[in-house]
Structure 1
């Protein structure tokens, strides 16, 4: 009987631990295109923009208003161009 109770407690604690993870850890990366609707409540991280004079890929990870995590990839001009 005790082993059944212990097994049930382990199963419930495992489910509770999974439920406490951030809502829907979405690991897929969405490609941004003009007109893409973004529901950004909080920016989690952004990639650093390199010091090159060309268009480079960048990524931003954010949480939407429902708490779901999203990653979007977009293109940005590097920081290495100088106006002389």
Structure 2
């Protein structure tokens, strides 16, 4: 009985260790009205200085666990001159 419990515990510990090591997968966040972000470091973002109007933008970042995320959203470009 003890050997069976020890075997089951060992199997569960091995499975959780293998599952925890797979943090290289890219996580694609879905935009919405309120998206809670866990941003530790920004990897890259879309340059909006040369674009005018509402344009698609992208933010690539790492969370505090070191996993890579990407977020696609709409933003207003900063390159609109002589417009209110």
TM-score (norm 2): 0.61
What SS does structure 2 have at the residue aligned with 1:25? Answer: coil
TM-score (norm 1): 0.61
In structure 1, runs of 5+ residues without a counterpart are 1-18
Q: How many residues align?
A: 63
Alignment partners' CA distance in 1, 2:35 and 2:57: 16
| Displacement of 1:83 | 4.3
In structure 2, runs of 5+ residues without a counterpart are 1-20
- Per residue, is there more strand in 1 or in 2? 1
Question: What's 1:38 paired with?
Answer: 37
Question: What's 1:25 paired with?
Answer: 25
